[in-house]
Amino acid sequence: MTGVAHDAHRDARRDDWLTPDGSPVARPTHLLAHLSDTHLTPAGVRYNAVLDADAALGRAVDVLAAAVADGRRLDGVVVTGDLTDTGDPDAYRRLRDALDRLGVPVVYATGNHDVRTEFHRSLLGRESEQPVLQVHDLSGLRVVVLDSTIPGHGHGRLDADHLAELTAVLADPAPHGTVLALHHAPLPAPSPLLSYFALEAGSRAALARALAGTDVRLILAGHHHLPQTGLLAGVPVAVAGSTAIRTDPLAPAGHERTWASGAFGVVEFYPDTLTVSTIPVDGADMVFDLDADGCRTIVERHPID
């Protein structure tokens, strides 16, 4: 979906915020939601035999829908692969229906659990067996999507031709810079199985070389089922947790252990920086919810000399 007008003043959330030195409150130019590894299964099949992946996605979308209804700015959603667990066409339809509810552009990458041709057919509306480089313009912020999958395999690779296409796109900078999105995170893996199914080292190095001197501000990825941040050639990398499960990086040696704990990311772009926040969606209890008057009361109790 497209058509949300860019309006830096639409989100009035910060209108009455103060700073300790009286400087202006920093306002983001763009805000993206970053979801990953939704792993939607065929109807009637539980993810990993126990989880309802549609319900897990629904919990994340509910949080975002409530924020949008509350007037929060949202320029788009990026979903970094393993959208479905087995490439079921109906699962792609359900994913699209769930996210179109938000009324903002949605950008999809494919993952090793997806089926490339079905992903292309269901979400890009095209027939192709080859990797498709997608370029999206979200109000001046360019989102370039890579396909890091190898059909029939779990690990990741970036073909030379695909990276050459990326280099050609990045030759011209975008007004607000570029975000790259791909499934296989170009970072060390957090667990034994994910190490075996990682992006090939040569691809990680080639991607690092392709970023040199470009306007890429951030890389969004998935596959690890764990919110993570790192760097690739000095460029920040943000890995979104799965909406359904969380890998345990502190499991006993040799163990691959996961928890029924979903999350997604919120990325806020500022003129001179960006922030990535992780939003768990596993049913935690609220502790407090101060309104603007309540916040003002706290401020007044803490005068600055």
**Chain residue whose CB lies nearest Fe ion:** 82
Q: Is 22 exposed, middle or buried (0-12, 13-18, 19+ CB in 10 A)?
A: exposed
Shortest distance in whole angstroms from residue 281 CB to Fe ion: 16
- Structure tokens that stand for 198 in this block: 């990682």
Q: Which of 112, 203, 243, 261 binds Fe ion (CB under 5 A)?
A: 112
Q: Does 246 bind Fe ion (CB under 5 A)?
A: no
Q: Does 223 bind Fe ion (CB under 5 A)?
A: yes
Asked whether the beta carbons of 53 and 86 are under 8 A apart, the reply is: no
Tell me whether residue 75 or residue 82 sits nearer to Fe ion (CB atom). 82
Task: Count interface residues toward Fe ion (CB under 5 A).
Answer: 5
Q: Which stretch binds Fe ion (CB under 5 A): 94-102, 106-114, 123-131, 162-170?
A: 106-114
Q: Which stretch binds Fe ion (CB under 5 A): 32-40, 56-64, 117-125, 174-182?
A: 32-40
Shortest distance in whole angstroms from residue 259 CB to Fe ion: 14
Q: Which of 29, 73, 79, 82 binds Fe ion (CB under 5 A)?
A: 82
Shortest distance in whole angstroms from residue 113 CB to Fe ion: 6
CA nearest 223: which of 275, 181, 178, 280? 181
Asked whether the beta carbons of 157 and 147 are under 8 A apart, the reply is: no
Shortest distance in whole angstroms from residue 101 CB to Fe ion: 23
Tell me whether residue 64 or residue 83 sits nearer to Fe ion (CB atom). 83
> 235-239 and 246-247: which strand pairing?
unpaired
Q: Does 37 bind Fe ion (CB under 5 A)?
A: yes
DSSP H or E stretch at residue 167: helix 160-170
The two counts, helices (H) then strands (E), for the chain are 7, 13
Binding site for Fe ion (CB under 5 A): 37, 82, 111-112, 223
